Amino acid sequence: MARVSLAARRQRALEILDILEATYPQARCELRFASVFQLLTATILSAQCTDVGVNKVTPKLFDRYPGPYELAAASHGDVETIIHSTGFYRAKADSIIRMSQMLVSQFGGKVPRTLDELVKLPGVGRKTANVVLSEAFGVPGITTDTHVMRLSRRLGWSKHKDPEKVEAELGRLFPEDTWITLCHVVIWHGRRRCHARRPACGACPAADLCPSFGEGETDPEKAAALVTQPPPVS
C-alpha cells in the first residue's frame, strides 16, 4: 500500500476540521469558572472525571475558596469532602491546595502565563497548562485529553499513545491558529458522537473521510439515537 504523504494527510485533516467546525459552531470549554485561577483548579479536578462531574462540585468549592489565598489556607479534610465525587479526591485536594500555596508564595497569587512556569505547579502537566493558556490567555496549544487522543487515532491523525507525541504530530498537521478550535470541536465530537465504546458512525458528518468508519453503529437511525447532548454550560 502506498504511503500517504504529509500533504495529503494534512489536507484530509483540515477537511475534517472544517466539517467539525460547521457541526459544532458553539464548541468551547465546558468547565464553569469565573477566573483564571478557577479554570486552573477545575482543570486539575477534571483528571479522570467528566466536566459535568467537576461542574457539580466547583460552585461550592469556589464559593468557599474563590481564590488562591483562600484555598492555600484551606483544610485538606474540608476540600476532600467537597470534591469527593470527582475521584482521587485526596490527591486532588493536596494538588490544588499546594498549587494555591505556590501561586501565593512564588507568583503573587497570579496564575503564570507560560507553559514552563505552569507545569511547575503541583497537579499541572502539559495538558492542563495548555487548557489554561488557550482558554485564559489565547495562547495556541493542543490539549491531549482522552477525546483528542482517541479521535486522533480513529481519524488517522496519529498512531501514538503518548500524549506529547500526539501533541507534536497534530502540531505538524494543523496550522497553529487552528489549535484552540481544533481541540474544542474534537472534544465536543468525542462527547457527542465518536464515543469510546459505541461511536455513532452513521450519524457522523465526517464519516466519508474517516478511516475508522464501521467501528460503531452505521445505520443512520440507530446511530442518531446514540448521539448525546451533555448539559449546557451556563
Catalytic residues: 127, 145
- Rounded distance between C-alpha atoms, residue 158 and residue 151, angstroms: 9
**Residues with Cβ within 8 Å of residue 138, at least 6 apart in sequence:** 180
Per DSSP, 94 falls in state H
**Residues with Cβ within 8 Å of residue 4, at least 6 apart in sequence:** none
Q: Where are the alpha helices (DSSP H) in the chain?
A: 6-23, 36-45, 51-64, 68-72, 76-83, 89-107, 115-118, 126-137, 146-154, 163-173, 179-192, 220-224
The amino acid sitting at 46 is S
